[in-house]
Chain A
Amino acid sequence: MQALRKHPGRRFVVAVPYLWLSVLFLIPFIIVFKISFSETRMAMPPYAPLIEWRDGVIVGIKLYFANYRFLFTDRLYASAYLYSIKVAAVSTLWCLLIGYPMAYAIARSTAAWKNLLLMLIILPFWTSFLLRVYAWIGLLKSNGVINNTLLSLEVIHEPLTLMQTDFAVYIGIVYSYLPFMILPLYANLEKHDTTLLEAAADLGARPWRAFLRVTLPLSMPGIMAGCLLVFIPAVGEYVIPSLLGRTDQLMIGRVLSDEFFANRDWPVASAVAILILVLLVVPIMLFQRVQKTELEARP
């Protein structure tokens, strides 16, 4: 591949996606950061310019910190922020608890079963996410399938309140993100050398002990990748809490979108986005490291 490393077309091949991602991914964040320091005004676009130009010379830079001060003083934002972290963390934990045994069972089944089971895991992912969340409204609402079934079996006598609860949001997130947990776990568990477990058994370790001492530590990269793939997007989740969640406690993604669409306050929406990014920057960097080793350390 030496020729490829020196080829003049190489620059062009790198430059095209580089340019695209810089303009449509990197620069937008700089704009969001900039606008989060702007003053709101009634105009289109609804924010004041930061930098004042006169005859091509900068005559003043006005940084407006009030958006952030507002976010830190109004309790609504802090509670939405903390609530989102809690919801994402609890959902991630449930995904792991449900997904790990599933990934393990698939990784240890015969080749023919493996393909079929993997297909069954991926299949829901190909059908609409929005419609799969919608399906839970029909199951959870007060005259929904779950309540009707329990009532007709006389397990309960009053319909349970399942919709617009934390429980409904957890179900929605776990349900939608479960494949994202299972697939990296499976990819990791599948590579394990089962002779290690046999060695542990020969040395007298009981299956549970062998699992805790051998399989679990070896699967840490898979656990990391799966948890980050669920946690990071779940923090900013908007569709699931809007359809299934509480109305008295919003998640931060909903707050951002309400500031933007309902209040038309673009600077405050930008400041909320920046605060979400501050929270997620470490998890995102961790995810990149895991992803990099997964993709580059292949035989």
Chain B
Amino acid sequence: MKSGYFARTGLVIGLAFLYVPILSMVVFSFNNSRLVTVWDAAHSPTLKWYVALLSNGPVLRAAWLSIRVAASAASGAVVLGTLVGFVLARFGPFRGRTLLSAMTTAPLVMPEVITGLSLLLLFVALEQLIGWPRGRGMLTIILAHITFTMSYVAVVVQSRLAGFDESLEEAAMDLGARPTTVFFRITLPLILPAIISGWLLAFTISWDDVVVSQFVAGPASTTLPMVIFSKVRLGVSPDVNALATLMVLVVALGIVISSAWMHAVTKRRERESQLASAGS
């Protein structure tokens, strides 16, 4: 089935639309001029914005905070999101199921200003009521990020589980395995790829969040997106281009490595199944 000229032309233009801005950021990160978008051919390419970036204390401190927040939030989100995805895919009907599934899908589309405001008001009310969490900072950012990233994990895990029928798990239970054993020995290995990509997704979303963090962060905790946002509100600045280039580099490397790894895993599985069928 051919897709026709129209759709294919649209695809090429659309991909150009997606990539030209990213490429322009990368190119201008090597530009000598402070004017960012005016190419200074005489003195470029240069690495001076990278040097400036990597010697900028507040940026580095904010990046370190963001890494710790994103890693903790992603780990929390993976635990809770996997539970939700598992419950929704495997538990059948139960009381309160509709509410649980509503509370899981709504955060996917909820405007960030509303999530941020409502969580901040919760933290303030809790502090008044029970004295915890005392003030706002890294802890409140992590709690907020877990809440809106766990939905993404739940969706990924649930759709992975929907792709498998329950026969393996049923067989294990028929053989007398306890439900917890079945979960850890059968279900968990099956959904491990979904859990890994859920963790990475949650990490990326948390690492990138500026709106919710602005609401729930205390004065002493500034994440990297908050620093970038206040920098770029004042206009373009060349070291932000350098930062963007570094992030694109990390993501591209990560994707190349992970797809090579996936490729190797599939190859090995194919070989094993060939050996198995040859041996029988």
Query: Residues of A at under 8 Å CB distance from B?
Result: 1, 3-5, 7, 9-10, 13-14, 16-18, 20-29, 31-32, 35, 45, 98-99, 101-102, 104-106, 108-109, 117, 119-121, 123-124, 126-132, 134-139, 141, 143-145, 148, 175, 178, 194, 197, 207, 228-229, 232-233, 235-239, 242-243, 253, 256-257, 260-261, 266, 269-270, 273, 276-277, 280, 283-284, 287-288, 291-292, 295-296, 298
Cα of A283 to Cα of B110 in the assembled complex, Å: 11
Q: Chain A at the B interface: mostly helix, strand, loop or mixed?
A: helix
Instruction: For the complex formed, measure the closest distance between the CB of A191 and the CB atoms of chain B, giving whole angstroms.
Output: 13
Cα of A233 to Cα of B209 in the assembled complex, Å: 14
Contact A105 B8 (CB under 8 A): yes
Contact A10 B7 (CB under 8 A): no
Could you say which residues of chain B place their CB within 8 Å of the CB of A129? 208
Q: A138-B25, A260-B117 are in contact. Are A7 and B247 (CB under 8 A)?
A: no
Question: Which of A119, A144, A233 is the one whose CB lies under 8 Å from B37?
Answer: A144
Instruction: For the complex formed, measure the closest distance between the CB of B205 and the CB atoms of chain A, giving whole angstroms.
Output: 9
Question: Which of B38, B100, B150, B155 is the one whose CB lies under 8 Å from A295?
Answer: B155
Chain B contacts with A in 17-38, Cβ cutoff 8 A: 17-22, 24-25, 28, 35-38
Q: A10-B91, A17-B100 are in contact. Are A102 and B11 (CB under 8 A)?
A: yes
Contact B122 A28 (CB under 8 A): yes
Cα of A104 to Cα of B1 in the assembled complex, Å: 11
**Who on chain A is nearest to B15 by CB?**
A120
Cα of A204 to Cα of B164 in the assembled complex, Å: 40
**Who on chain A is nearest to B163 by CB?**
A298
Query: Residues of B at under 8 Å CB distance from A?
Result: 1-4, 6-11, 14-15, 17-22, 24-25, 28, 35-38, 80, 83-84, 86-88, 90-92, 94, 96, 100-114, 117-119, 121-122, 124-125, 128, 143-144, 146-147, 150, 155, 158-159, 162-163, 166, 169-170, 173, 179-180, 182, 204, 207-208, 210-211, 214-215, 225, 228-229, 232-233, 235-236, 240-241, 243-244, 247-248, 251-252, 254-255, 259
Cα of A229 to Cα of B111 in the assembled complex, Å: 11
Question: Which of B6, B20, B90, B96 is the one whose CB lies under 8 Å from A18?
Answer: B96
Could you say which residues of chain B place their CB within 8 Å of the CB of A109? 3
Contact A236 B228 (CB under 8 A): no
Q: A18-B96, A296-B162 are in contact. Are A136 and B229 (CB under 8 A)?
A: no
11 new A-B contacts at CB < 8 Å, known A1-B173, A4-B182: A1-B166, A5-B91, A16-B80, A101-B6, A102-B15, A134-B240, A233-B111, A233-B112, A283-B109, A288-B105, A291-B108
Could you say which residues of chain A place their CB within 8 Å of the CB of B6? 101
Contact B233 A105 (CB under 8 A): no
Contact B210 A130 (CB under 8 A): yes
